[in-house]
Amino acid sequence: MVLTPILTAHWDEADSYKLEGYKRHHGYVALAKALKSDPDSIIQTVKDSGLRGRGGAGFPTGMKWGFVPQNDGKPHYLVVNADESEPGACKDIPLMLANPHALVEGVAISSYAIRANHAFIYIRGEVPHVIRRVTNAVKEAYAAGLLGQNIQGSGFNLEVVVHAGAGAYICGEETALLDSLEGHRGQPRLKPPFPAVAGLYASPTVINNAETIANIPYIIRNGADWLKQWGTEKSPGFKLFAVSGHVKRPGIYEAALGTTMRELLEHAGGMRDGHTLKFWIPGGSSVPMLTEAHLDLPLTYEDMAAAGTMLGTGTPMVFDETTSVVKAVSRWLQFYKHESCGKCTPCREGTYWISGLLKRLEKGEGQETDLEKIDELCQQIMGRSFCALGDAAATPFPGAMKHFRTEFEAGVRTAADIAFDPAATTIFSKANV
Amino acid sequence: MTFTETTWNEAKELAGRYPHSRSALLPMLHLVQSVEGLVSSDGIALCADVLDLATAEVAAVATFYTMYKRHNTGKHHVGVCTNTMCGLLGGDAIWNAISSDLNTGHDETSEDGKITLERIECQAACTHAPVVTLDWEFFDDATVDGVRKALSDLREGKEVKSTRGPVIKGLQASERLLAGFDDDEFDAPAIDEKMLAGLHRAREVGQTLPSSEV
Amino acid sequence: MTIDNTPVELVTLTIDDIEVQVPKGTLIIRAAEQLGVQVPRFCDHPLLDPVAACRACLVEIEGQAKPQPSCAMTVAEGMKVRTQVSSVMADEAQKGVMEFLLINHPLDCPVCDKGGECPLQNQAMTNGRGESRFDGEKREFEKPINVSDRERCVSCARCTRFADQVAGDPMIALLERGSQQQVGISDDQPFDSYFSGNTIQICPVGALTSAKYRFRSRPFDLVSVPTTCEHCASGCSLRTDIRRGNVMRRLAWDDPQVNEEWNCDKGRFAFPYVQEGRLNQPLVRGEDGLLHPASWTEAIDVAAKGLAAASGATAVLAGGRHTVEDAYAISKFARAVLGTDDVDFRSRPHSTEETQFLSSVVAGSGLGVTYADLEKAAHVVLVAFEPEDESPMIQLRLRKAVRRGRTKVTAITSHVTSGNKKLNATVIATAAGHEVSALSELALDANTIILVGERAASVTGLLTAATKKAKESGAKLAWVPRRAGDRGAVDAGLLPGLLPNGNSLTDSSAREKAADIWNVENNTLPFAAGRDFGAIVHAAVNGELKALLITSVDVEDTQHSASTLQAIENTPFVVSLEIRPSSITELANVVLPVAVVTEKSGTFIDWEGRPRNFGQAIREHNKLTDGRVLAMIADAMDVLLGQQDVAQLRAELAQFAAPTNRVDAPSHGADVPNGLTLSTWNQLIDDGALQEGEPFLAATSRNVIAGLNSKTAAAHSIAEGDLIEISTSLGSITVEAIFVDGAENTVWLPTNSGESKVRTNLGAAHGNIVTIKRGGGQ
Domain boundaries, chain C: 10-202, 219-269, 296-348+487-493+525-614+624-654, 359-481, 677-774
pLDDT, position B1: 64
pLDDT, position C695: 86
What is the rounded distance in angstroms from the CA atom of residue C504 to the CA atom of residue C118?
Answer: 54
Tell me how close the Cα of B121 comes to any Cα of chain C, in angstroms: 15
**Has residue B70 been placed in a domain?**
no
- CB contact, 8 Å: B114 with chain A? no
Residues 6+ apart with CB under 8 A from B206: none
Tell me which amino acid residue C344 is: D
pLDDT, position C777: 45
Question: Do residues B123 and B154 both lie within one domain?
Answer: yes
pLDDT reading at C5 higher than 90: no
**Per-residue DSSP letter, C772:** E
Number of CB atoms found within 10 A of residue C570's CB: 16
Nearest CB neighbour to C51, from listed A190, A339, A367: A190
Chain A: touching chains (3 or more CB pairs < 8 Å): B, C
Average confidence (pLDDT) over C325-337: 97
CATH assignment of the domain containing B142: 3.40.30.10
Query: How would residue A39 be classed by pLDDT, with cut points 50, 70 and 90?
Result: very high
Maximum C-alpha span of chain C: 90
Tens of pLDDT, residue by residue over C62-93, are: 999 999 999 999 999 999 999 999 999 999 99
Q: Hey, of B88, B185, B213, which one would you mutate to test binding to chain A, going by the most A CBs within 10 A of its CB?
A: B88
Sort out which chain B residues have CB atoms less than 8 A from A324's CB and list them: 88
Tens of pLDDT, residue by residue over C298-317, are: 999 999 999 999 999 999 99
pLDDT, position A432: 39
Arch. (CATH architecture) of C677-774: Beta Barrel (2.40)
Per the CB < 8 A criterion, the answer to whether C599 and C629 are in contact is: no
Number of CB atoms found within 10 A of residue C516's CB: 11
Per the CB < 8 A criterion, the answer to whether C183 and C176 are in contact is: no
Nearest CB neighbour to C171, from listed B54, B63, B65: B54
Average confidence (pLDDT) over A216-236: 98
Average confidence (pLDDT) over C383-408: 97
What is the rounded distance in angstroms from the CA atom of residue C503 to the CA atom of residue C528?
Answer: 13
Tens of pLDDT, residue by residue over C719-735, are: 999 999 999 999 999 99
Contact at CB, A383 and C96, closer than 8 angstroms: no
Number of CB atoms found within 10 A of residue B63's CB: 22
Question: Do residues B82 and B157 both lie within one domain?
Answer: yes
Average confidence (pLDDT) over A157-171: 98
Arch. (CATH architecture) of C219-269: Single Sheet (2.20)
Average confidence (pLDDT) over C142-155: 72
Tell me how close the Cα of B7 comes to any Cα of chain C, in angstroms: 21
Contact at CB, A9 and B144, closer than 8 angstroms: no
Which CATH number does C296-348+487-493+525-614+624-654 carry?
A: 3.40.50.740
Question: Do residues B149 and B110 both lie within one domain?
Answer: yes
What is the rounded distance in angstroms from the CA atom of residue C155 to the CA atom of residue C42?
Answer: 9
Query: How would residue A1 be classed by pLDDT, with cut points 50, 70 and 90?
Result: low
Chain C: touching chains (3 or more CB pairs < 8 Å): A, B
pLDDT, position C690: 93
pLDDT, position A153: 96
Tens of pLDDT, residue by residue over C25-59, are: 999 999 999 999 999 999 999 999 999 999 999 99
Q: Which segments of C606-730 are extended strands (E)?
A: 611-614, 677-681, 705-708, 723-728
Residues 166-205 of C with CB under 8 A from A: 174, 176-181
Question: Do residues B159 and B81 both lie within one domain?
Answer: yes
Q: Which fold has domain C10-202?
A: Ubiquitin-like (UB roll) (3.10.20)
pLDDT, position C117: 92
Contact at CB, B214 and A218, closer than 8 angstroms: yes
In B, minimum Cα distance to C171 occurs at B56
**Per-residue DSSP letter, C353:** H
Tell me how close the Cα of B56 comes to any Cα of chain C, in angstroms: 5
- CB contact, 8 Å: B67 with chain C? no
Question: Do residues B42 and B88 both lie within one domain?
Answer: no
Please state, in angstroms and as integers, the Cα–Cα distance from residue A427 to each residue in A133, B175, C63, following that order: 30, 32, 49
What is the rounded distance in angstroms from the CA atom of residue C368 to the CA atom of residue C390?
Answer: 19
Query: How would residue C430 be classed by pLDDT, with cut points 50, 70 and 90?
Result: very high
- CB contact, 8 Å: C7 with chain A? no
Tens of pLDDT, residue by residue over A165-213, are: 999 999 999 999 999 999 999 999 999 999 999 999 999 999 999 999 9
Number of CB atoms found within 10 A of residue A297's CB: 18
With 0-12 / 13-18 / 19 or more C-beta atoms within 10 angstroms meaning exposed / middle / buried, residue C6 is exposed
Average confidence (pLDDT) over C167-182: 95
**Has residue B58 been placed in a domain?**
yes
pLDDT reading at C775 higher than 90: no
What is the rounded distance in angstroms from the CA atom of residue C251 to the CA atom of residue C41?
Answer: 21
Per the CB < 8 A criterion, the answer to whether C328 and C492 are in contact is: yes
Number of CB atoms found within 10 A of residue C308's CB: 17
Please state, in angstroms and as integers, the Cα–Cα distance from residue C213 to each residue in B28, C151, C251, C506, C519, following that order: 41, 20, 11, 53, 49
- Strand C58-61 and strand C80-82: pairing? antiparallel
What is the rounded distance in angstroms from the CA atom of residue B130 to the CA atom of residue B142?
Answer: 5
pLDDT reading at C517 higher than 90: yes
**Has residue B178 been placed in a domain?**
no
Backbone Cα Rg of chain B: 20
Question: Do residues B84 and B58 both lie within one domain?
Answer: no
Domain boundary among B16, B36, B62: B62
pLDDT reading at A66 higher than 50: yes
Average confidence (pLDDT) over C396-400: 98
Per the DSSP assignment, residues forming a β-bridge with A245 are A318
pLDDT reading at A348 higher than 50: yes
What is the rounded distance in angstroms from the CA atom of residue C552 to the CA atom of residue C557?
Answer: 11
pLDDT reading at C401 higher than 70: yes
pLDDT, position C668: 94
Please state, in angstroms and as integers, the Cα–Cα distance from residue C771 to each residue in C716, C734, C754, following that order: 10, 12, 20
Per the structure, how many domains does chain B have?
2
Whole-number mean pLDDT of chain B?
97
pLDDT, position C6: 72
pLDDT, position C144: 46
Q: Hey, of A335, A348, A359, A385, which one would you mutate to test binding to chain C, going by the most C CBs within 10 A of its CB?
A: A348
Sort out which chain A residues have CB atoms less than 8 A from B122's CB and list them: 85-89, 169, 335
Contact at CB, A386 and C97, closer than 8 angstroms: no
Query: How would residue A431 be classed by pLDDT, with cut points 50, 70 and 90?
Result: very low
Question: Do residues B131 and B97 both lie within one domain?
Answer: yes
pLDDT reading at C145 higher than 50: no
Nearest CB neighbour to B178, from listed A164, A331, A428: A164
Tens of pLDDT, residue by residue over A77-92, are: 999 999 999 999 999 9
Q: Which fold has domain C359-481?
A: Dimethylsulfoxide Reductase; domain 2 (3.40.228)
pLDDT, position C217: 87
Q: Range with the lowest mean pLDDT among C213-222, C362-371, C730-739? A: C213-222
Report pTM.
0.96
What is the rounded distance in angstroms from the CA atom of residue C193 to the CA atom of residue A269?
Answer: 65
Question: Which phi and psi (to 5°) does residue A133 adopt?
Answer: -65, -45
Tens of pLDDT, residue by residue over A283-306, are: 999 999 999 999 999 999 999 999
- In percent, the amount of chain C with pLDDT more than 70 equals 98
Host H or E run for residue C300: helix C296-309
Tell me how close the Cα of B138 comes to any Cα of chain C, in angstroms: 26
Greater confidence (C440 vs C186) lies with: C440
Return the exposure string of C382-409: e unless at least 16 CB atoms fall within 10 Å of the residue's CB, then b: bbbbbbbbbbbbbbbbbbbbbbeeebbb
The parent domain of residue B14 ranges over 5-62
pLDDT reading at C187 higher than 80: no
In B, minimum Cα distance to A184 occurs at B61
What is the rounded distance in angstroms from the CA atom of residue C99 to the CA atom of residue A345?
Answer: 10
- CB contact, 8 Å: C169 with chain B? yes
Question: Do residues B80 and B145 both lie within one domain?
Answer: yes
Please state, in angstroms and as integers, the Cα–Cα distance from residue C616 to each residue in C240, C489, C596, following that order: 11, 20, 10
Question: Do residues B54 and B82 both lie within one domain?
Answer: no
With 0-12 / 13-18 / 19 or more C-beta atoms within 10 angstroms meaning exposed / middle / buried, residue C137 is exposed
Whole-number mean pLDDT of chain A?
97
- CB contact, 8 Å: B17 with chain A? yes
Query: How would residue C4 be classed by pLDDT, with cut points 50, 70 and 90?
Result: low
With 0-12 / 13-18 / 19 or more C-beta atoms within 10 angstroms meaning exposed / middle / buried, residue C431 is buried
Sign of the alpha-carbon dihedral angle for A300, A301, A304, A309: positive
Residue A164: which of A186, A189, A181, A185 has the closest Cα? A181
pLDDT, position C778: 41
Host H or E run for residue C328: helix C324-332
Residue C39's SS3 state is coil
pLDDT, position C642: 85
- In percent, the amount of chain C with pLDDT more than 90 equals 87
Contact at CB, A8 and B208, closer than 8 angstroms: no
pLDDT reading at C3 higher than 60: no
Contact at CB, C176 and B56, closer than 8 angstroms: no
Average confidence (pLDDT) over B30-59: 97
pLDDT reading at C142 higher than 80: no
Per the CB < 8 A criterion, the answer to whether C265 and C194 are in contact is: yes
Tens of pLDDT, residue by residue over A230-244, are: 999 999 999 999 999
Angle at C638 between CA C632 and CA C640, to 5 degrees: 65
Maximum C-alpha span of chain B: 62
- In percent, the amount of chain A with pLDDT more than 70 equals 99
What is the rounded distance in angstroms from the CA atom of residue C742 to the CA atom of residue C735?
Answer: 18
